[in-house]
């Protein structure tokens, strides 16, 4: 049976493609999902793709990934990046390899965006590649998953 990775998206990412195209591009969240599925398929991985505006639902999704023995997590915590001890704790508790991804380069933006709590539980962080960062994150995660098999 194919392994599954979870791709989790935080608050307001459902608005992708409809607002602030100068920062986040013109692609929609449906485009991101299609890109993730195509990239994961090339590695023989299934994708569980979620977006939520609610912190607790993101925590629940991380616990679900753990309970279902998912192979790893790609997460764009969006506005919860710098505030959510709950998401950090869920990722730490899961022990799953997690890649944090940001569409924009958070280090070229306001100071308050640059102090990620989630990074403390992440194997790697991707920031500033636009939505292609999701594909890069999945490629990197797939390499980690394969490495841990050997």
- Which residues are annotated as catalytic? 24, 102
Residues 34-73 that bind ligand CA2 (CB under 6 A): none
Report, in Å, the least distance between residue 146 CB and ligand CA2. Answer: 26
Give me the 69-108 binding string for ligand CA2, x by CB under 6 A, dash otherwise.
Answer: -------x-xx-x--------------------xxx-x--
- Edge-first strand listing for the sheet containing 72-76: 45-51, 3-9, 72-76, 98-102, 124-127
CA distances from 95 to 44, 54, 66, 121 (A): 22, 22, 8, 9
143 binds ligand CA2, rule: CB under 6 A: no
- CA–CA separation, 109 and 7 (whole Å): 24
Which tokens hold the place of 4? 């599954």
By the criterion CB under 6 A, which residues form the site for ligand CA2? Answer: 12-13, 15-16, 19-20, 24, 76, 78-79, 81, 102-104, 106, 113
């Amino acid at each position: 049976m194919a392994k599954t990775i979870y791709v989790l998206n935080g608050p307001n990412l459902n608005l992708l493609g409809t607002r602030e195209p100068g920062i986040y591009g013109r692609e929609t969240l449906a485009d991101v999902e299609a890109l993730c599925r195509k990239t994961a398929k090339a590695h023989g991985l299934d994708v569980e793709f979620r977006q939520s505006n609610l912190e607790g639902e993101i925590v629940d999704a991380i616990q679900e990934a753990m309970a279902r023995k998912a192979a790893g997590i790609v997460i764009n915590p969006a506005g919860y990046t710098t505030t959510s001890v709950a998401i950090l704790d869920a990722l730490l508790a899961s022990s799953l390899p997690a890649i944090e991804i940001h569409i924009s380069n958070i280090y070229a933006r306001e100071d308050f965006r640059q102090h990620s709590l989630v990074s403390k539980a992440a194997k790697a962080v991707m920031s500033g590649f636009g939505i292609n960062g999701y594909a890069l994150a999945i490629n990197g995660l797939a390499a980690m998953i394969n490495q841990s098999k050997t």
